A and B are shown apart, each in its own frame.
Chain A
Amino acid sequence: MPLAASLVVALSLAPGHGEAQQPPAFRWAGDSEGGAPYVEADPQHPERVQGLDVEIAELIAKELGRASLFVQIAFTSLDQSAARGDFDIALDGIEDTPARRASLAVTLPYYEFREVLTMRAADATRFRSLADLRGRRVATLGGTTAYELLLAAEREHGVDAISYDDDVHPYEDLLNGRVDAVLLDNVIAERSMRRMPGLATQPDAVAVGHYVGILGPTRTELRDRIDGILRGAMADGRLEAILRRWLVWNDDQPNLYARLTQSSGEAAPGTADESTAVAGATGTPRPSGWTTARQYFPSLLSAAAMTLVLSCLSMALAVGLGSVIAIGRVYGNRVVRVLFTAYVEVTRGTPILLQLFVIYYGLASVVRLPAFVAALIGLGLNYAAYESEIYRGALEAVPRGQLEAARVLGLSDWQTLRHVRAPQAFRFALAPTTNDFVAMLKDSSLVSVLTVMELTKQTQIFATNLGSWVLPGALCAALYLAMSLPLAQVARRLEARWSAPGAA
């Protein structure tokens, strides 16, 4: 149990424990969630990680004479985390991109992969290239070169690019028909083909790329030492042994190694060429922040529109269903009251993320909801529970005398609700409902886990490609404010109008 042992060592050496002559642990980062074969939780011992990048990290640590310590970081946060200096290096099938080279210290490439197109076996002859997929949904992992390729193909061939947060669900959704093809690294594609029968992969590469380790921008000295270690491991076959163990060795690798070990210069020319080739395919040479902002602004705007439309529809569902639940809890018989109360308590007592996953993935075998519909239903059902509590409170806040006056006049329960109780409750409920609407605008960012491209997700992709959060974050915040401030303004006006109608 090398990792467990190294963990113990690492912990005992954590800064603050003194022991001056012992070197600090070699902190390396990856994302063990669905990260096979790079970094994944060991199925037998879930507290440990395994994978080809785990072994490479341990190899490097050993050569450096330091104990290795794994740091779990979400895949999409690895770049920002590296820039902050949260760890020494991240190794997790990370692609070599111009953005990374510009903002971080990047090791030499240790693996060459091909971006390949996978589809259901029956479609293998129909969809030979991206050009054959006009109007079709093509999935990949968000924030990757493959996603950039798909965006380029969206403009060029009219495919519909769908971004996922992990590399397993795209293939599952391919099998169950939510998408028509997946573009991803051959390593991932081959692994998925082994796990899921019924898929086929086109032999021709859409593009070629490389995996690299990333370090904080100032860590060039450590990076150079690691490059030396990697070269040594390429020369003496230790790297090959690791890659063979994880079933990813192929003929592309000896060629890459030959190019890299010949030129022992600082930046291997072959590397630069190859990565420009990938970048070239996406049509985005490294531009300035403002140019990128201009480029991304339309997609941020359309993501903001998605956020707004989704929030409005979900809120409409929540208000409608919330009203029904509130009325049922106030007027219904025992059975209705118990059922609705249970619904409210279960919905409020469990995380909305879990609810979204259950609706989208959990129910997929029963009803295959499109992502947008699943997101709308998930947000709507969740918020309905909260809205219903507001409306129930508002209904009960209407004074008894108002209801008795209506009863004495001969109004039925329904007429009393419709003409007396609800209109008065509405005023009580207006402010908290608006408040929830503003919260909904922001909570809608959660549905990016269902591949819905809303504002926060688009910003994240933007930030990953730019290698900075400053500009994307500011734009994103401005767009959210542009949506929520007018809403608050409208609410204030309505409240003012209804609290003093004589003055209007």
Chain B
Amino acid sequence: MNAPLEPSGSASLGRSPSMPLEIDSLRVRRGARDILRGVSFSVATRRLVALMGLSGSGKSTLLRAVAALEPFDGGDIRVGDVELKPGLRRPPSPDPLREQVGMVFQFHCLFEHLSALDNVCLAPCHVRREPMSDARARAAALLDRLGVGQRAGALPRELSGGEAQRVAIARALAMDPPLLLLDEPTASLDPARRRALGESLAELAASGRALLVTSHDDDFVRDFASEVLILADGEVVERGEPREVLSSPQHDETKTLLRGLVR
């Protein structure tokens, strides 16, 4: 059984030149507040794009809009061949968006009542209707590849922060999405683990997926991201190759952000 660190889709390769994620003039309002005011960018296959910005800059809202967990008010989001429109979405069943994007939450949100292994097999079993034995074998292989194979039987509350995060990544990968969203994956990790995680994510990107990651960690972004976007006041104020942007920030917000990160 081969665990799909690479997307199983020769389909996705042969499908089209379309990007795993294209965002055009995305606007989000909450009450009287503009959270995002016209953000545009795209994430291509084999790229790891990092979103940086002060708290409240709209990073998480952007990820949640892409995953259709929150509605947006203007612009366009295209995830693979699924187009999201402004306003409340009535998802079709089954929802094709879910095959295109996976998400790893900041606090993991593992299913509390299920073991690590069952967390990973739940969706393949019930959404893809894979036979239980196949799903379990694939899940076990995925956990192995992510270095938490020995914790397969543990419940979420018995896992450390780093272990829980790897299980959450395995859970998202089990559905084999071309685009993977990660919200603050480095937040609860010590430097050594941050490095190991970065290597895993870079490997995921290299093997043919698109990754969009929010982060506060400039070292992590410098070492592993292929591109960085700086969000401030709901707009992209700076973008480019991480070493360049982070070494010689042009925008005031970027400078403030980096000053805040100096420890």
Contact = CB atoms under 8 A, between A and B. Distances in A.
B127 A409 contact: yes
Contacts of A423: 113
Interface stretch (A106-114, A239-247, A314-322, A398-406): A398-406
Interface stretch (B6-14, B99-107, B236-244): B99-107
A420 B112 CA distance: 9
A419 B127 contact: no
B123 A410 contact: yes
A420 B111 contact: yes
A411 interface: yes
A419 B175 contact: no
Interface in B107-122: 107, 109-113, 122
Interface stretch (B40-48, B90-98, B220-228): B90-98
A192 interface: no
Contacts of B39: none
A146 to B, nearest CB: 58
Nearest to B111: A420
Interface in A407-421: 407-412, 415, 419-420
Interface in A423-452: 423-424, 427
Nearest to A426: B113
Given A405-B105, A410-B94, A502 B154 contact: yes
Contacts of A16: none
B126 A411 contact: yes
Nearest to A414: B93
B109 A405 contact: yes
B155 interface: yes
Contacts of A237: none
A188 to B, nearest CB: 61
B109 A401 contact: yes
Chief secondary structure at chain A's binding surface: helix
A410 B112 contact: no
Contacts of B107: 401
Contacts of B155: 501-502
Contacts of B122: 406, 409, 411, 419-420
Contact of B69 (A408, A419, A501, A502): A408
B94 A404 contact: no
B98 A415 contact: no
Contacts of B103: 405, 408
B94 A412 contact: yes
A409 B118 CA distance: 13
A410 B98 contact: yes
B98 A409 contact: yes
A409 B123 contact: yes
Chief secondary structure at chain B's binding surface: loop
Interface residues of A, number: 20
A402 B69 CA distance: 13
Contacts of A412: 93-94
A265 to B, nearest CB: 81
Nearest to B103: A408
B171 interface: yes
Nearest to B93: A412
Interface string B136-153: 000000000000000000
Given A408-B67, A410-B127, A401 B105 contact: yes
Q: Which of B95, B105, B111, B154 has the most CB of A within 10 A?
A: B111
A415 B154 contact: no
B81 interface: no
B69 A415 contact: no
B127 A404 contact: no
Contacts of B110: 405
Interface string B57-95: 000000000010100000000000000000000000111
A403 to B, nearest CB: 9
A501 B157 CA distance: 11
Contacts of A409: 98, 102, 122-123, 127, 171-172, 175
Q: Which of A401, A409, A424, A427 has the most CB of B within 10 A?
A: A409
A410 B105 contact: no
Contacts of A502: 154-155, 158
Contact of B111 (A405, A407, A408): A405
Interface in B7-50: none
A401 B101 CA distance: 17
Contacts of A420: 111, 113, 122
Contacts of A411: 122-123, 126-127
Contacts of A399: 109
A410 B154 contact: no
Interface in B167-198: 171-172, 175
B67 A415 contact: no
A405 B123 CA distance: 10
Nearest to A422: B113
Nearest to A424: B113
A404 B122 CA distance: 14
A453 to B, nearest CB: 43
B112 A424 contact: yes
A408 B113 contact: no
Contacts of A404: 69, 105, 109
A415 B129 CA distance: 12
B69 A407 contact: yes
Nearest to A409: B123
24 contacts: A401-B105, A401-B107, A402-B112, A405-B171, A406-B111, A406-B122, A407-B69, A408-B102, A409-B98, A409-B102, A409-B123, A409-B127, A409-B172, A410-B94, A410-B99, A410-B175, A411-B122, A411-B123, A411-B126, A411-B127, A415-B127, A419-B126, A424-B111, A502-B155
Given A404-B69, A405-B111, A415-B127, 16 more contacts: A401-B105, A401-B107, A405-B109, A405-B171, A407-B69, A408-B69, A408-B102, A409-B102, A409-B122, A409-B171, A409-B172, A410-B175, A415-B126, A424-B112, A427-B113, A502-B154
Give me the 6 closest cross-chain CB pairs, A-B, nearest first.
Answer: A410-B98, A401-B109, A409-B123, A405-B109, A410-B127, A408-B103
